[in-house]
Amino acid sequence: MTAEKETLPVTATPPTLSCDVLIIGGGPAGSTAAALLAQRGMNVVLLEKAQHPRFHIGESLLPANVPLLDQLGVREEVEAMAMPKYGIEFVSPWHQDRTFLEFREAWNKSMDKAYQVRRSDFDHILIKNAARKGAQVIENCRVKSVDFLPDETGAVVHAQHADGQAATWQARMVIDASGRDTFLANKLDTKVKNKKHNSAALFGHFTNAQRLEGKLEGNISLFWFEHGWFWFIPLADGTTSIGAVCWPTYLKTRKNSVQEFFMDTIALCPPLQARLKDAQLVSEVEATGNYSYSCKQARGPNHLLLGDAFAFIDPVFSSGVFLAMNSAFYATEVVHAALRAPHQLAAATKQFDRVMQKGPREFSWFIYRVTNPTMRDLFMGPRNMFRVKEAVMSMFAGDIFGKTPIWPSLYVFKGIYYIGSLLTLRRTLEAARRRKINISDTAQVR
C-alpha cells in the first residue's frame, strides 16, 4: 500500500491594505494623532506592539496637558482616575527648608493644575478614544519594516501579529510614535546621542509612602542627593512612584541586584528615606540607562516623528507626555495639508519644525543645570523680581508655545543664574568639572 504524500497547508500572501495614515505606536503621541486625524475623516491605522493596558513610566502631567485633554474629549475620564497635582516640592540636603512652588504662581493663572496618572490607565484611555473617533487600532501588532516609495507618494509598511500572521499596508503618510524604540530614526540613521546630557534611572512603586497633606498630597516632590535626584509621584490608587535619576559613574559602583542597589540609593537621601519608613515596595525595580537623545530631523516627504520617537530628555520637569501629545496636534496640521490642502503645507511644516525643536531646547536649558548648586539655590530661594518666578513656573507648566509673554523674564532668570555662578566661581568650576566627567562616561544598568 502506497502511503499518501502529506499535504502542507499553503499560507497565502496577505493582501496589501491601504490607508491614508499609518501610525507606529499607541502611546500618548500616536493615540492623540490617530484620534485627531480620524476626526478629520482620514483612514487611519494605528499599530501597537503591546496590548493595553500596559506598564509605562512617566506618570506626571503638566497643566498644559489639560487643554489637550479637553480638545480630545477625555478630560473627565482622566480626572476620574488621576491625582490632582498643584505644584512641586523641592528638597535639598544643602538647604534647611523645603520649597513649595505652585502652578497658580505662573503667568497664566488658568494653568493652575495638572494630574498624576498611572500610565497604563492613561494610555488606555487615549487609545480607546482613538478607536472611538474612527481610527483602526490594532494591538499586538509589531511593525517589522517600512519601505518608502521612490516617488515620495507614501510607504509600504510590513507588520506581524502576535500569532505570526503577516500584514502589509500601503500608506500615504507614516507617523512614527514608537517612543524610545525610535523605529524610523533607526532605519534612517538619524538618531544622535545627546552629548550634553547623560543619566540613567532606577524606579519602582511603593505603598504607604508618607505624602504631603491636604491639597498638596498630589504634588510631585524632587529630592536632590549627591549623585542626582529622586522623583516622588503620588498616584490616586495609593501607590507612589519613586525614581532615582543618577550619573552613570554612580551606577557603575553597583555590586548587588538592581533592587538592592535602588534601596541603598534611597538610603543616601535621608528626607526621602524618612518618607518611606513605613512603605513597602510593590513592584519590580526597573532600570534604564543612557537615554538622552534626539534625531537630526522630525519629518520627511512622507513621514513624521513624534514625541520620544524624535527626542527624549531627562524627566525632571515631567515634559515628556506633554511634548508627545502637543507634537501630535501640530503633526495633524501637517498631514492634513500634505494630503488635502497642499497650499497650506509650507506654513504647517514650518510651524511643526519650530515646535519640535523648541520644546526640547527650552526644557533642556533647565535640565542640564538642575543639579548645579547655583540652580539649586535659585529653586530653594525663589524670588519674583521682574516676574521671573511667574515665568519659570509658566515654563514648568508647559506654557511655552502660546502667546504668554514669559520670555523677557526668563532671560532675566538666566542672567541671574549666570551672575550667581560667577559670584561662586570656584564652586561653579568644580560642579562643571564633575558634570563633564559624568556625562562623558557610560554605564549599562543590568
Residue 338 has pLDDT above 60, yes or no: yes
Residue 227 has pLDDT above 80, yes or no: yes
- What average pLDDT does range 237-256 have in this prediction? 91
pTM recorded for the entire structure: 0.93
pLDDT tier at 263, thresholds 50, 70, 90: very high
pLDDT tier at 199, thresholds 50, 70, 90: confident
137 and 50, same domain (yes or no): yes
Q: pLDDT at position 290, please?
A: 60
66 and 208, same domain (yes or no): no
Domain span at residue 342 reads 16-81+117-194+293-364
- What average pLDDT does range 406-432 have in this prediction? 96
Q: Is the distance from CB of 359 to CB of 319 less than 8 angstroms?
A: yes
48 and 148, same domain (yes or no): yes
366 CA to centre of own chain: 16
Sign of CA dihedral 348, 350, 356, 362: negative
121 and 37, same domain (yes or no): yes
24 and 153, same domain (yes or no): yes
Task: Give me the percent of the chain exceeding a pLDDT of 70.
Answer: 95
Alpha carbon distances (Å) from 2 to 5, 6, 9: 9, 12, 21
Task: Identify the weakest region by mean pLDDT among 209-213, 368-372, 413-417.
Answer: 368-372
Q: pLDDT at position 288, please?
A: 82
pLDDT tier at 445, thresholds 50, 70, 90: very low
Q: pLDDT at position 443, please?
A: 45
Q: Which three cell numbers stand for residue 194?
A: 545627546
Residue 1 domain-assigned?
Answer: no
26 and 136, same domain (yes or no): yes
Q: pLDDT at position 195, please?
A: 80
Residue 10 has pLDDT above 60, yes or no: no
Q: pLDDT at position 3, please?
A: 46
Q: Return the residue matching grid coordinates 489639560.
A: 66
110 and 255, same domain (yes or no): yes
101-117 pLDDT per residue, tens: 999 999 999 999 999 99
Q: Beta-carbon neighbour count of residue 245 at 10 Å? A: 22
Residue 166 has pLDDT above 60, yes or no: yes
254 and 239, same domain (yes or no): yes
Q: pLDDT at position 249, please?
A: 84
* CATH code (residue 75): 3.50.50.60
Q: pLDDT at position 12, please?
A: 59
248 and 275, same domain (yes or no): yes
Element (H, E) at 121: helix 119-132
The residue among 255, 254, 265 whose CA lies nearest residue 230 is: 265
Reduce the DSSP state of residue 295 to 3 states and report it. Answer: strand
Residue 11 has pLDDT above 70, yes or no: no
154-163 pLDDT per residue, tens: 999 999 999 9
Q: How many domains does the chain have?
A: 2
Alpha carbon distances (Å) from 123 to 51, 128, 166, 231, 350: 11, 9, 26, 21, 29
Residue 442 domain-assigned?
Answer: yes
Residue 11 domain-assigned?
Answer: no
- What average pLDDT does range 245-263 have in this prediction? 91
d(CA 105, CA 330): 28
Residue 225 has pLDDT above 60, yes or no: yes
38 and 157, same domain (yes or no): yes
pLDDT tier at 296, thresholds 50, 70, 90: very high
208 and 251, same domain (yes or no): yes
Q: Which three cell numbers stand for residue 110?
A: 488658568
16-67 pLDDT per residue, tens: 999 999 999 999 999 999 999 999 999 999 999 999 999 988 999 999 999 9
pLDDT tier at 287, thresholds 50, 70, 90: confident
Residue 2 domain-assigned?
Answer: no
pLDDT tier at 437, thresholds 50, 70, 90: confident
271-281 pLDDT per residue, tens: 999 999 999 99
